[in-house]
DNA sequence: TCTGAAAGGGTTGATGG
DNA sequence: CCATCAACCCTTTCAGA
């Protein structure tokens, strides 16, 4: 991955905040004309620095009012099991995040659900589809203080 | 918040995946001409259904190779303390998520860091700035299986 | 609410500094 | 690596259904 200069980083900063800003306006913000600005953006898209552009939607507007984190501990830990878990969780749209963690549990899953019925269904799915799920522990979110994917660009 | 019909939901589905798609192309995808399509998008922006558009940036490209979750348990639980925690964590750019959870701990914090030195710094900040932080427990992510904010629109 | 058309503005690529 | 410019495409608005 190539180096990012100050202009690249400024572009990333702006596009992380306003992903639909026009190249013309973006160019003004960073003090460049439109063509080289657009070229830098394209280069970063090609290089995988910018991985995509996404509208963010209010979970409440879609009725997903329940946010839960689920810790899952597997009893067996073969490579096969990890692969299967990956595949299963990737295709559950209510699962927004899944990470393999070190420490006292194996997976940390974040899911947005419409209510307790969907929650019960999720847990059932996980424990049934996973070949050797042993323990699971859930945390219900009472208040969301912050949720973003925006990274500081530093400089 | 108003009802979302099938067309609205289709628009949300597409814009969550491709947030910079032109209104012309979006209109083709959903089988409408450009004007009413743009109008629907504007309406959903006004109503807070669409909360923004954001470029997503590769954490590796910015050197943020360490992803950690930190559980924080407060010893005192006055309203004052919660307010202070909120304010502090909101202004730490390395903190991507923070949630108040029920269960055996109080806050769940997700942070992307450049390494152990920044990790030490974060923990120091948290435990120093928080008036009454008692326990903290960290989980280092070994593998990221999924990370998205995209919600299923159902229908 | 939609379609279609027209005017204004944005994007893109060639050219030259 | 940047600015300029022209051709093309997109956005926005408005009339009409």
| Shortest CA gap A70–chain B (Å) | 12
Co-location of A65 and A130 in the same domain: yes
Tell whether pTM > 0.75: yes
Containing structural domain, residue B13: 6-47
- Of A83-92, A129-138, B39-48, B83-92, which range is least confident? A129-138
Give me the residue label for tokens 């009413």.
B36
Q: Give start and end residues of each alpha helix (H) in chain B.
A: 6-17, 23-30, 34-46, 79-90, 116-129
Co-location of A101 and A66 in the same domain: yes
Q: Which residues in chain B touch residue A94, judged by CB atoms under 8 angstroms apart?
A: 152
Distance separating alpha carbons of residues B98 and B74, to the nearest angstrom = 14
Co-location of A43 and A77 in the same domain: no
Q: How confident is the model at residue B20, as a pLDDT? A: 98
Q: Which residues in chain A touch residue B99, judged by CB atoms under 8 angstroms apart?
A: 67, 69, 141-145, 147
Of B59, B97, B152, the CB nearest to A146: B97
Give residues 72 to 131 of B whose Cβ lies within 8 Å of A.
85-86, 89-90, 93-103, 105, 107-108, 112
Nucleotides on strand C with an atom closer than 7 A to protein CB? 1-5, 9-14
Mean pLDDT of chain B: 93
- The enclosing domain of B108 has a CATH number of 3.30.70.920
Mean pLDDT of chain A: 93
Q: How confident is the model at residue B131, as a pLDDT? A: 65
Co-location of A27 and A64 in the same domain: no
DSSP, collapsed to helix, strand or coil, labels residue B120 as: helix
pLDDT at position A53 over 80: yes
Among residues B65, B57, B24, the alpha carbon closest in space to that of B41 is found at B24
């Amino acid at each position: 991955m190539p180096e990012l200069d100050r202009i690249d980083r400024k572009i990333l900063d702006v596009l992380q905040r306003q992903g639909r800003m026009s190249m013309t306006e973006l160019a003004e913000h960073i003090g460049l004309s439109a063509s080289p600005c657009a070229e830098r953006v394209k280069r970063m898209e090609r290089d995988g620095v910018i991985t995509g552009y996404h509208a963010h939607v209010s979970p409440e507007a879609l009725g997903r009012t329940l946010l839960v984190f689920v810790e899952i501990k597997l009893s067996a830990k073969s490579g096969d099991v990890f692969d299967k878990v990956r595949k299963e969780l990737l295709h559950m749209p209510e699962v927004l995040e899944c990470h393999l963690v070190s420490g006292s549990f194996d997976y940390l899953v974040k899911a947005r659900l419409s209510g307790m019925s969907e929650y019960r269904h999720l847990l059932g799915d996980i424990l049934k589809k996973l070949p050797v799920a042993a323990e699971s522990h859930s945390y219900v979110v009472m208040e969301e203080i912050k949720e973003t994917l925006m990274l500081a660009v530093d400089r």
